[in-house]
Amino acid sequence: MIKWWKILAALLIFYTLVWGMLGSVPRLNILHETIRNVYYHVPIWFAMLFLMGYSVVHAVKYLSGNNFTSDIISDQAAQTGLFFAVPGLLTGSMWAKFTWGTWWTFQDPKLNGVAIAVLIYLAYFILRSSIDDELKRARISAVYNIFAFVMMFVFIMILPRLTDSLHPGNGGNPAFGKYDLDSNMRLVFYPAVIGWVLLSLWILDIKKRMALLAHIQNEN
């Protein structure tokens, strides 16, 4: 059975892919046509952050309720989130090449934050794979997940606001702030965010069902 929100996700993403290229955008210095990246890059990161948050919520749920399904969801959400980091990094890197003239810079707190986030979740998976006992694994990785998420949150949300950054939205660089994003862009940007988040939920739903089936099969 296909649920309505899956169709909505496909329609929204298709609409933003097409209209993101065809719609009119404001002509800004340096950015020019690359501003269209806002439609792809930013919603993908939103989807990733959403999934990481989803993963932490289920880690907390596991610790408070000891329901094994929560652990499976938490693990799968982190995996899917890390998967979304790849297109997020690629679109960002491509955009940076055309505006900043470089694929990657270590000067920028937001870019470093992303690198740290990827490292944290890789460490999370290594931790999971190094514990054999299922219940123990669930408990310990939930603890690490919560702790690491808070530190990542500090890194991504708080530190960039204290230091200057080249990244749009910081230090007077144009971005999708209230002055730069005109009403035409909003018509594409908001549907794009909803579409990508729904798509991430869709992928998560499939992965979760697969993992649950594998778990049931292992038990019997």
Q: Is 127 in the site for other proteins (CB under 8 A)?
A: yes
Q: Is 154 in the site for other proteins (CB under 8 A)?
A: yes
Q: Is 184 in the site for other proteins (CB under 8 A)?
A: no
Q: Is 155 in the site for other proteins (CB under 8 A)?
A: yes
- Could you tell me if 24 and 184 are in contact, meaning their C-beta atoms sit under 8 angstroms apart? yes
Q: Is 147 in the site for other proteins (CB under 8 A)?
A: yes
Nearer to other proteins, 95 or 149 (CB): 149
* Phi, psi angle pair for 32, to nearest 5°: 50, -130
In whole angstroms, the minimum distance from the beta carbon of 176 to other proteins comes to 25
Task: Fill in the per-residue mask, 161 to 180: x = in contact with other proteins (CB under 8 A), - = not in contact.
Answer: -xx-----------------
CA distance 203 to 182: 31
Pick the piece of the chain touching other proteins (CB under 8 A) from 29-37, 98-106, 143-151, 181-189.
143-151
Q: Is 63 in the site for other proteins (CB under 8 A)?
A: yes
Q: Note the residues at the interface with other proteins (CB under 8 A).
A: 63, 109, 112, 116, 119-120, 123, 126-127, 130-131, 136, 139-140, 142-144, 146-148, 150-151, 154-155, 158-159, 162-163
